[in-house]
A and B are shown apart, each in its own frame.
Chain A
């Protein structure tokens, strides 16, 4: 028998990414739940909220729009992946893949590609709406674009890893959406998405600061909103160093969890 080269993990991963995106976009329920939900929330709360943040001259709806972009990233990565992978484990898709010569890394590469593309799409849609309706401005300097880029990439990476890791938590595919929306909703309330972070009770602030969403929101505000807002930020600084550290720590924790707890089969099978 002659040795034939196995197809590379990257190539199969790319092919899986394409497949994931195509099937995702053809499934209306998934699209509504993960992509459209933040858009709907932006529109609803954007029309309810009014006024400015403290006396910083920043329209609170812009503050909210930046926060909802962060929460949109969490929706298309953490929630979407957590639900999808749980369902795939439940219905035997993972087991079938495990029985083929597909490299395991290709599966995750495919998921990451899909999560990245969907997050980009989500961010563009939310930004354009935030711009048209509430006057949210694009980053004004190259430095701010750079900030936007690294916060976005770090946010997507961390939440993707956590989404893969958390897929082992729900007992069944059917309960997955409900289970994963609990941390998602709670984090949105305590991370400075619906309310100005500085206006939250200090205990809530401390709790929020333990999780990535607070830091992603703050990072995106630092790229999209003027520095006058710093007067209303509890640290009076954008804390980029700390943001990087917290996200890196969550990234490492997520990666370790993925590597140690990921299962290709149901608990009972």
Chain B
């Protein structure tokens, strides 16, 4: 079996005389959770839509599960799951009805009740969609995305508008899918979401990929200098250092024990992301 789920080389998409996507290279491995980050209008959605077979490309090579998404076939579509940005299923139908219906599109669908359980909606299986909360409807969207037993799942800004608790619970669901071996391409505006879920992160800005790396390494995060801050006799003090442990040990000696309001911080994913897209512009 092919080790790469998605392979993109030199992808270009032109609208009029604007290059929305201008030479994107990308590899997503099988079983990986890959997060695509980038500001609105960076070419992120266009790239994903090309991979999903929703949009034609202007140039470049693209292979998704070994096939060209520019020529989608039913057999190929049956191996993908797409969770779009907005949910819009008929509110009159129940969770079980809509899933049973969609299951009929696939050659080897998953068991409807098993999928309902996987997304945590067993209690709501008979409820009409109109009576579900926003978070619950999003779970229905995911259920519709995985009902066909996809090898590759596209998740487009899945937790926009969630409260923090619902987001954490939604993350558990995605982690469960990833553990089951589903390759996931996630787009999100939440950096903590990417950090919590993704094995690797790619940042797109201005139609190009700026960098790809693990959330811990992106933008030189792992080797970036740490900032040690505390409150001393002259008020708040801080130093940038490559050896924070040594600094803290010295401070501990100096204060003879507890260092007031001690913090050691490295740049967050958000810090490095904002720096990157700032430079990319």
Contact = CB atoms under 8 A, between A and B. Distances in A.
B108 interface: yes
Contacts of B21: none
A6 B78 contact: yes
Contact of B107 (A6, A27, A96, A98): A6
Contact of A100 (B75, B86, B102): B102
Contact of A15 (B88, B101, B107, B144): B101
Contact of A101 (B54, B74, B84, B144): B74
Interface string A236-269: 0000000000000000000000000000010000
A199 B79 CA distance: 62
Binding site secondary structure of chain B: loop
A99 B80 contact: yes
A5 interface: yes
A12 interface: yes
A92 interface: yes
Given A6-B107, A91-B88, A101 B75 contact: yes
B93 interface: yes
B21 to A, nearest CB: 16
Contacts of B78: 6, 101
Interface in A3-23: 4-7, 11-12, 15-16, 19, 22-23
Nearest to A7: B104
Contacts of A6: 74-75, 78, 107
Contact of B104 (A15, A95, A96): A15
Interface residues on A, range: 20 to 34
B52 interface: yes
B105 interface: yes
B84 A100 contact: no
A103 interface: yes
Nearest to B73: A101
Contacts of A102: 105
A5 B88 CA distance: 29
Contact of B92 (A15, A23, A98): A23
Interface of B: 52-54, 74-75, 77-78, 80, 82, 84, 86, 88-90, 92-93, 101-102, 104-108, 144, 148
**Which 8 residue pairs are nearest across A and B when measured between Cβ atoms?**
A26-B92, A101-B77, A4-B107, A99-B82, A101-B78, A91-B88, A101-B74, A102-B105
